[in-house]
Amino acid sequence: MKKTLTILIILLVVIFGIYLLSKDDTTSVTMVDDTNLETTTETTTTDTEMVMEEERSPIEVIGQTVEGRDITAYHYGEGEKEILFVGGIHGGYSPNTALVAYQLMDYLETNPTVVPEGVMVTVVPALNADGLTAATGVEGRFTAADVSTSEATRVASRFNANGVDLNRNFDCDWKASATWQTKTVSGGTAALSEPEASAISTYITAHEPVLTVAWYSAAGGVFSSACHNGVLPETTALTNLYAQASGYPAYEEFDFYEVTGDMVNWVAKNGLPSISVLLTDHTNTEWEKNRAGILALLKHFAN
């Protein structure tokens, strides 16, 4: 009898021990599940915060000029493929390059659906805002009637407030003493020494647009870009696309005279497609031609 009782007690102890072990295992599994749940929640929150941080305002100040004027980028659409248009690089000497940029902004405001899904159009209408103000007497947006009739004033306003030609200040064949037609001009104290050039270069480096289009005047053509690394096939295709749609002739390079420190060539040096659209004179925006070219680009990047 005692032997039987002893066996029963032993069995009860063993069963109770198994129960306790089983309870601990369940608790452990629950704790692990809770931990995993907490980790998943934290990751989701972090991802959401990153998306919120990446949202960009329709109007973005990307820097200031020598005299402290804002350099502003205007965004249309919310896609990952960004097409960047830059005007006003040569201030009041080429005021139509800023005016055509303003026309593009007006067009996109009125016709927002022309920007395809997945595409963002960014317009920087006045990179050399100091030069434009010097030639027009107007802060911010101006009209053709505001531009000075003085040739000397307009030529002087080609340069920024430090007297530097911004399209000679970028890091592709940069020289302190540069050339404009037959004249010697300043390329700055170093590549990207000027706040305007630094602002746009920082923006391009950060966002890597699928295409950068810079408006200049006056030669009447679409020019590919390169910096001793050959013209990218995509750049050639986009040059021809814009030219065919707009009616401008297409050129593989600008070789009318030596150009050092050029903006779009610097973009090409960084492996990004970029083209120059040179308006035919310093007055007309040739909007219909440029609108056709822009729409061809939008259709291309919609695919």
Burial of 23 from C-beta contacts in 10 A (0-12 / 13-18 / 19+): exposed
For all residues of the chain together, what is the average pLDDT? 87
Tokens (6 digits) for 5: 């009782």
The angle formed by the CA atoms of residues 177, 180 and 184, to the nearest 5 degrees, is: 40
Are 96 and 143 within 8 A, CB to CB? no
Which pLDDT belongs to residue 54? 58
Read off the pLDDT of residues 144-171 as tens digits, 9 standing for 90 and up. Answer: 999 999 999 999 999 999 999 999 999 9
Q: What is the pLDDT of residues 226-265, one digit of tens each?
A: 999 999 999 999 999 999 999 999 999 888 888 999 999 9
If you search the block for the tokens 């369940």, which residue do you land on?
26
**pLDDT value, residue 158:** 98
pTM: 0.82
Tokens (6 digits) for 196: 């305007």
Cβ atoms of 97 and 218 within 8 Å: the answer is no
Q: Give SS3 for 64.
A: strand
Q: What is the rounded distance in angstroms from the CA atom of residue 217 to the CA atom of residue 149?
A: 17
Angstrom CA distances, 49 to 39, 44, 46, 185, stand at 15, 9, 5, 47
**pLDDT tens across 186-213, in order?**
999 999 999 999 999 999 999 999 999 9
pLDDT value for 253 = 86
**Residue 41 phi/psi, 5° resolution?**
-60, -45
| Whole-number pLDDT of residue 21 | 44
SS (H, E, C) 71-83: EEEEEECCCCEEE
What distance in Å separates the CA atoms of residue 8 and residue 164, rounded to the nearest whole number?
A: 100
pLDDT, tens only, 71-103: 999 999 999 999 999 999 999 999 999 999 999
